[in-house]
Amino acid sequence: CDNIAAINISKNLVLHSRTKHIEIKHHFIRDHVQKGTFELVYVKTEEQLADIFTKPLQEDTYVWLRDRLGMELINDQ
């Protein structure tokens, strides 16, 4: 996750007025973080691996993310 506030909300046991209207899926995540099923870890925006699937990227960023995923370029010969 690249949102520190979201990570902090997931770890906080107290619901505040700011968290009153959070969607159900976020409560699901929060519950599982509290149970220890999984952990949310901060990842810098420029290191988000999902960006390769969701955003147009400059070639150098695309290649870096592609390599991090272990993908290989297949050429037709």
Residues 25 and 49 in one domain: no
Residues 55 and 72 in one domain: yes
Domain count for the chain: 2
Predicted confidence (pLDDT) per residue in 10-44, tens digit? 676 665 556 555 666 677 877 888 899 988 888 88
Residues 11 and 31 in one domain: yes
| CA–CA gap between residue 40 and residue 4 (Å, rounded) | 10
pLDDT of residue 76: 58
Domain enclosing residue 71, as ranges: 44-76
Which has the closest alpha carbon to 51: 62, 59, 36? 62
From residue 7, how far is each of 27, 53, 56, 59 by CA, in Å? 12, 23, 26, 30
pLDDT of residue 5: 72
pLDDT of residue 47: 84
Q: pTM for the whole thing? A: 0.50
Predicted confidence (pLDDT) per residue in 37-74, tens digit? 988 888 887 888 888 888 899 999 988 998 988 887 77
Residues 51 and 28 in one domain: no
